[in-house]
Amino acid sequence: MILKHIEEKAIELINATNQKSAPIDVIKCAKHLGVLIEYTELEDDIFGLLVIKNKKPLIIVNTLGNNESRKRFTIAHELGHYLLHSQNASFFIDKGEIQSCKRTLETTYEEAKERDANEFATSLLVPNYLLELEASLTTSDVKFDIVRHLSEKFKVDEMLLGIKLSHLGLLEYGFSSEAN
């Protein structure tokens, strides 16, 4: 479950950049925060980095084998680190490891930071209020068509969209290609 303060930070950024519809422009969000973005080839297990040097934040996005939705998620993820964690560190690396939203006593500080950044990215790219609106306008009865249409609208991965729809109770039983 998304922590409320993380979701609120994402919504504040969306509002500050005056964005009213999907897809959310993550480049506009970065510019608003004074975060520079560079694209380059990195090792294939790295999606991106956030480096803060002399109080100047820079996101580096790996272009090697990453589609546009993955690049957008990486930028949003690193913006999450910048807004949520930059007071404690100046370097973050996204190796794209799946971090469950469930927090346990065994959760390390690093794992918690990665989860927070993932939750921020999801809230920024697919804000609940916009997803609920767009889902209500969708006419298909086929779950896969709904997920595909909305993932194209928000410019995010279908799996991310399917999970978000399921968590909001807008798509029963999660991601499926079968008709209702």
Query: Can you tell me the distance from the alpha carbon of 123 to that of 14, in angstroms, rounded to the nearest whole number?
Result: 10
Please check the confidence at residue 22 and state whether its pLDDT lies above 90. Answer: yes
pLDDT: which is higher, 9 or 91:
9
pLDDT tens for residues 47-101?
Answer: 999 999 988 999 999 999 889 999 999 999 999 999 998 877 666 776 765 444 4
pLDDT: which is higher, 51 or 44:
51
Tokens of 139: 């006419």
pTM, two decimals, is 0.85
Per-residue confidence (pLDDT) for residue 100, from 0 to 100: 42
Tokens of 31: 């510019």
* C-beta separation of 85 from 117 below 8 A: yes
Tokens of 24: 């959310």
Please check the confidence at residue 46 and state whether its pLDDT lies above 60. Answer: yes
As beta bridge partners, residue 57 has: 52
Query: Can you tell me the distance from the alpha carbon of 134 to that of 145, in angstroms, rounded to the nearest whole number?
Result: 13
pLDDT tens for residues 103-160?
Answer: 444 557 778 888 999 999 999 999 999 999 998 887 766 677 889 999 999 999 999 9
Please check the confidence at residue 164 and state whether its pLDDT lies above 80. Answer: yes
Confidence label for 180 from pLDDT (cuts 50, 70 and 90): very low
Confidence label for 36 from pLDDT (cuts 50, 70 and 90): very high
Mean pLDDT of 4-27: 96
Instruction: Considering the chain, tell me which residue range(s) the CATH 1.10.10.2910 domain(s) occupy.
Output: 4-125
Per-residue confidence (pLDDT) for residue 105, from 0 to 100: 46
Query: Can you tell me the distance from the alpha carbon of 68 to that of 63, in angstroms, rounded to the nearest whole number?
Result: 9
Query: Could you say which of 1.10.10.2910, 3.40.50.10680, 1.10.630.10, 3.40.50.880 is the CATH number of the domain covering 4-125?
Result: 1.10.10.2910
